[in-house]
Structure 1
Amino acid sequence: MPGAAQLLLLAALVAGEPEFAVHLRAPAVEAPPTSAGTSAATQKAPTPPELPVPYADAVPMDPEILSAPRPRRKLGTNTTIFVNFDGVHISECNPSNSHENCSWLKKNTTFEPWSGNLAQRVAILDAMRSQVNELGVRVTGQRPPATEPYTMVVYGGDSIEEEALGRAPAGDCWDDLPNQIAYVFLDGERSTWINGGASTALHESAHTWGFDHIGLEYSLMAPSGDNTLVKFFDGCAQIVDNPELDPVDEGSCPQISLEQCGLSDFQDDIAMMRLLFGEPYIDDVAPTLELVDPFDGRYFQGPADFPVTLRVIDDQHPQVYELAIGVRGLIDEPAFSAVHDPSFDVEALPIGEWVFELRLRDAAGNETSLDFTVVVGEEALVADDGCNCKVDEGGHEDRRNAAVLGLLTLLGLVGRRRSSSSGSSPARTCWRSCPASPTPGARRCR
């Protein structure tokens, strides 16, 4: 198949005619293999290309902020990690506030968008989800509504320059400050880390919840990491102070440590996660699929080539979706294809009025649908208003008038009335004589 995009052929038309096809813009293909594997199940050391890199990341919060009276978050309720790959400017505030993009840590700093592609983003998020799918944590790359608390992980920056894989505020033992901001510095030379990116994002998030480093290499809360996918340790482990695994006298959250391990210098990762965030997060929310372009009822001269741009809103976006593209009368039983982005490009749609019927499923099986119509005719769209104007498909002027006149024309072309939703529409440019003008001449049709 030509090009990088997967070509999904929907129908072959009469011999000699152009072949109707749809190009999926973002088919779900595997992310490039990483250089290190997964040690989550065995806890055995992998064979990384370099020695583990110290996190050097847990930065103690101001004790006055931690001790200030505030409403406590209800223990045992699910939480959300929003991984921000899109770049952000962090202004100054204390305590941090993910809703306002402000923090005392890395304050007044601009992070450029992460350089990885959509497939890599999805791979990192899916790897994170695989490590917390039995815990009360939702992972998303789409900013949640302002009404929801969430930890924001800013994914960008260079770990070589920062001399750390990530950084996060530490010491909030009961996650009473749920809108914290953590950082993953894995652009630059380590931008291809998929497993390590997922582990680092979870590691830094855990620091915002009050977790300390523990003295077990190749566990999630070890003080050093590499490009390996690792889990929270299930059991009590010694809390350590540095990559040399020197033990501490007391952890950041001694009350929790005493309750769960009987020792103030030990930590039980899984028990602490369940205490804070309760039962596993259940995705029972269907995605929302929105038509961005073309608008419903759009007219094209045939055979028509045009892009279909769609927007997905979902509680765990982006992820691997399943998309079925039906076209009534052409493809009535479409197959599902795995995609990261459901947008697609249409080629050589024949003359007629066509209803596109889309179905989208998320990874949990929640399904939504969207129908829209396009009309394909033999002639370029001409507005019959005495102006003899030809529609310019590529222009951007007079959008509203063009849409209205175009719909009036369609009444004659297709013999039925349709209303269009908001969206882009062709522009029309024409000139005509103005007999009513004092001076003969021409004026722009409006």
Structure 2
Amino acid sequence: MNIAEYQEKLLDKAIEAGFKEAEVYFERKNSFKCMLYEGQIDSYETSEDGGLSLRGLHNGKMGYAYTEKLDDVSMSFLIDSVKANADVLDENEGIDIFEGSNEYTPYEFYNEELETIGIPEKIELLRLIEQKVRAYDSRIVTLDYCFLQEYSTERSLANSKNLSLSHKENGLVIFLSTVVKEGEELKTGGYLKMTRDFHALNADEIARAAAEEALANLGEKSIPSGKYPIILRSDATASLLSTFMPILSAENAQKDQSLLKGKVGQKVASDTLTLLNAPFHPDALSGASFDGEGVATKEQAIISNGTLQTLLHNRKTAKKEGCETSGHAHKDSYKGTLSIAPQNLYISPGKRSQEELIASVSEGVLISELSGLHSGTNTVSGDFSVAAKGFHIQDGKIVSPVKQMTIAGNFFEFLNDIEESGSELYFLPAGYGSPSLLVKELSVTVE
């Protein structure tokens, strides 16, 4: 019995068991991971994880259960568990199973060719990259991370209202952390590359970028602590955006956990900032044609020229707000209940390159990396104080890396202090993207 037949049979049994309506969600993930150290395989792992969940409306309440076993015994277990789960709910949330959108955008998230390339060839590419990084400069000591992961995910959603949707995606990620030494100074630099096109990977380009990222950190100097104009590099900005995504959740706003509550239609950021949700962006590996409830996804502006256009809604929050869902229901896995998350959330790029932004700053700091983002941030107040790596800018030029810094500010003020977006766009594997940003100022404390 294939998965579609299993879903159909389970739905039939659920309706026979007294459910008014029901939904079956299936997911399977495959992953291959490999790490090298000095040309030898340090770790190697292949994994498969998958399962199925049942949501159903029973006695006016929506219950939920999941299983990893797809057999007839599991069908009875799921139905009984959903009934029991629904019975203990305190209130009827008033949300039914979704009947489907009028139209879904076709888009290919899966590259079949990537699956046909053997694991030995992928390991050999990683080995070649490591070799080229180590040979790039005599100051390169080693790589403490030389990592490759390939993954594929299948999802399907079917319900008793004749909705049947499926999604398949894959991708490959390479992460390198290079250790460099000059005199007594020891530094590292991280570099990440992701793609669905294996043949587009160039070992020389990746090795050069990884080596230069680390070498640039040598020769650090101290600068006085204080407030500086900041250029936040694209990858650092994407990480900050990812951390503060919860402020955009309508569920958090309705729980009084977001200061954007009641701000739709109001200015919440600089005129230069446009924040987009783009489930079909070609530079991102993530995305989907439907959300966790089966609602069609679409490209939309969340913030347009500084004005908040919408919060991120699923059907439950939209009903409570008296508006349409924005298609942002999210399931982390078949085990998870519905939450809210974007699909490829990114800040729209501007016209000038990062180099041109640097040239416009008489004195400031270029931030290239942030760490401690989860422990040093408060998504309710917007306050943050996090460790950072970066470079001192004087007279429009980078003059030296800066000793370990802490940057501090408030994210809501940060949004209003953005003066310009750079032209390049960088995405994290999780689908958060940004160009470099020129920001009026942030507090910089140098150790």
TM-score when scaled to structure 1?
0.21
User: Could you say which structure has the higher helix fraction?
Assistant: 2
User: Could you say which structure has the higher strand fraction?
Assistant: 2
**Larger Rg: 1 or 2?**
1
TM-score when scaled to structure 2?
0.21
